[in-house]
Amino acid sequence: MAPNKTTATLFIDKDSWLQRLHPLTKLSYILLTGVAAYGGPSSLLYICLLLFCNAVITASGGLLKDTAKALLRVILPLLLFMIPIHSFLFPGNRTVLLEFHGMIVYQEGLLFAISTLTKLTVVLIASFLFVFSTHPADLITALSHTCRSPSLAYLLGSPLLLLASMRERIETIQAAQRARGLDVDGNMFRRFLSLAPLLLPLVLGAIVEVEQRSIALEVRGFKSTSIKTSLRKLSDSALQRFCRWLMLAIAAVVLLLHGLG
Amino acid sequence: MSLNRRFKEDFTTTTVVLMSIAIVINIVGGQLVSMLKLPIFLDSIGTVLVGLLAGPWAGGLTGLLTNLIWGMISSPVAAAFSPVAMAIGIAAGLCAKYGLFKTWWLAMISGVIITVFNAIVAVPIRLYMFGGITGSGADFITSYMLALGKDLFGSVVISVFTANLIDKVITAVLAWGIVKALPLRTTTRLPRAKNVVSA
């Protein structure tokens, strides 16, 4: 059960300025984008401006194609549901835009759907930028340096290492229980009943292991407060630190104005 | 340093390891359900378990981190719902603290309470970030309610509640069963397991 395989995150290995940015800088950027999209003026022009800015940043990091692909995968189902539902059924619907065989498309609902979708797209692009350009190890290093907490770093990092072996274990348990005659293809009620014999061995086995794992960690000085050297070096600059504070300050001001207005 | 100190007092190494395993169970639980083709999510069983075994704050943190990690390995939309997962963990921890996980039928009531907490946090996120529609099966309930003339808020509340009720009740009962089945030598190491076990 050596967890030698790591579950792949969405990280894309490229060498661009986005990749080299400090993870916390990118996190503050997501926060700023989110606040700017949802707390700023609600005109469509403003949102499109944000959208354009984000697209330019993405393109300059060489991630435009991947982001567009991922975005399409998330936005398309939303679009297919949201545009029809709101343009037919939005409660504030007044103005008839189009009438087609008794189906009426209303202006208010359509506008509401479009503005929600564009806001969401802006925030999604910023988050995809972060996920695509940040190696999980970099994020964990950055967090453990700032929070000085080995626990938080462990909580973020170890699941990525454990996932692959846990997935293998599910398949082993399933094979074993089927060999004992467990019905996994019957009617719905039978399938509900077969949930417990699959889930219980998995979870019980994992929880019983907790003791061993925690002793192994303690023995290696997990909770020691001395500063550990890290193999990964993160580049951070005074400029980036300044930008982080600036972005957080702008986000706070926008929120404050939004709260007052 | 103060954050570190508080963290250290609340979270022993055993708790931290339990949380990391619970995060993996949350992610894998969804895989199990899709293998059995069941119409539930089962993506918060680890969170509820940590709530029972280590208290509301550990449970809340487990939920939060599960969705953040999910955001990194599949899609950032999951990260947007991390406060919801956090509410589930806190609710489960509080229910266990007040003795609502002692028997299987009490666990079912806790499942309903967890659903209410879940809805309180999920509805605003769905409404303001996603305009009430998230591209899932629950949208059919929302649109049906809208067609019946309900307002957007009411429709989203009803669809979130109905889509989660069965899932959370099953999750709560399974979590109760798991804690009951744990060997004594494991439960004695976990601070809050006695809330559930000593019936």
Q: What is the pLDDT of residue A4?
A: 47
Q: For A100, how many CA atoms within 13 A lie in the half-sphere containing its CB?
A: 6
Tell me the β-bridge partners of A105.
A98
Q: Is B199 a member of any domain?
A: no
Following DSSP, what letter does each residue of A68-86 receive, concatenated?
HHHHHHHHHHHHHHHHHHH
Q: What is the pLDDT of residue A252?
A: 93
Q: What is this structure's pTM?
A: 0.89
- Nearest-CB residue to B131 (from A112, A209, A225): A112
Answer for the pair B170, B75: CB distance below 8 angstroms, yes or no: no
B3, B12, B28: best mutation site toward chain A, by most A Cβ within 10 Å? Answer: B28
Q: Write the CB contacts of A15 (distance below 8 Å, at least 6 apart in sequence).
A: none
- Smallest CA–CA distance, residue A131 to chain B, in Å, is 6
Q: Is B124 a member of any domain?
A: yes
Range of the domain at B156: 2-193
What is the phi/psi pair of residue A207, to 5°?
-70, -35
Q: With b meaning 16 or more CB within 10 Å and e meaning fewer, what string describes B45-71?
A: bbbbbbbbbbbbbbbbbbbbbbbbbbb
CB contact under 8 A, A127 and B76: yes
| Set of chain B residues whose Cβ sits within 8 Å of the Cβ of A184 | 35-36
The chain A residue lying nearest B33, using CA atoms, is A195
Q: With b meaning 16 or more CB within 10 Å and e meaning fewer, what string describes A214-251?
A: beebeeeeeeeeeeeeeeeebebeeeeeebbeebeeeb
Q: Answer whether B116 touches A (CB < 8 Å).
A: no
Q: Answer whether B72 touches A (CB < 8 Å).
A: yes
A12, A33, A81: best mutation site toward chain B, by most B Cβ within 10 Å? Answer: A81
Q: Answer whether B29 touches A (CB < 8 Å).
A: yes
What 3-state class would DSSP assign to A148? coil
- Nearest-CB residue to A162 (from B13, B20, B177): B20
Q: With b meaning 16 or more CB within 10 Å and e meaning fewer, what string describes B125-164?
A: bbbebbbbbbbeebbebbbebbeeebebebbbbbbbbebb
Answer for the pair A170, B28: CB distance below 8 angstroms, yes or no: yes
Q: How far apart are CA B194 and CA B171, in angstroms?
A: 20
Complex ipTM: 0.87
CB contact under 8 A, A90 and B152: yes
Q: What is the pLDDT of residue A235?
A: 81
- CATH number of the structural domain spanning residue B179: 1.10.1760.20
- Smallest CA–CA distance, residue A194 to chain B, in Å, is 8
- Nearest-CB residue to A204 (from B17, B61, B181): B181
Closest CA to A135 of A22, A5, A260, A250: A22
Note the helical H segments in chain A.
17-20, 23-39, 44-60, 64-89, 107-133, 136-147, 150-179, 188-193, 195-219, 238-260
Q: Is B152 a member of any domain?
A: yes
Q: Answer whether B125 touches A (CB < 8 Å).
A: no
| Set of chain A residues whose Cβ sits within 8 Å of the Cβ of B23 | 155, 159
CB contact under 8 A, B36 and A156: no
- Smallest CA–CA distance, residue A210 to chain B, in Å, is 6
Identify the segments of chain A with pLDDT beneath 70. Answer: 1-7
Q: Is A105 exposed, middle or buried (0-12, 13-18, 19+ CB in 10 A)?
A: middle
Q: Is B125 a member of any domain?
A: yes
The chain A residue lying nearest B29, using CA atoms, is A199
CB contact under 8 A, B143 and A151: no
Q: Answer whether B181 touches A (CB < 8 Å).
A: yes
Domains in chain B: how many in total? 1
- Smallest CA–CA distance, residue B28 to chain A, in Å, is 7
- Nearest-CB residue to A200 (from B61, B131, B178): B178
pLDDT in tens, chain B (199 residues): 466 665 555 678 899 999 999 999 999 988 888 888 888 889 999 999 999 999 899 999 999 999 999 988 888 888 999 999 999 999 999 999 999 999 999 999 999 999 999 999 999 999 988 888 887 777 888 888 888 888 889 899 998 998 899 999 999 999 999 999 988 888 888 877 777 775 4
CB contact under 8 A, B128 and A38: yes
> Which two structure tokens, joined as six digits, stand for A2?
């050596």
Q: What angle do CA A259, A129, B69 make, to 5 degrees?
A: 85
CB contact under 8 A, B3 and A85: no
Per residue in B121-170, pLDDT (tens digit) is 999 999 988 888 887 777 888 888 888 888 889 899 998 998 899 999 99
Q: How far apart are CA B113 and CA B108, in angstroms?
A: 9
Q: How far apart are CA B42 and CA A207, in angstroms?
A: 18
Q: Is B173 a member of any domain?
A: yes
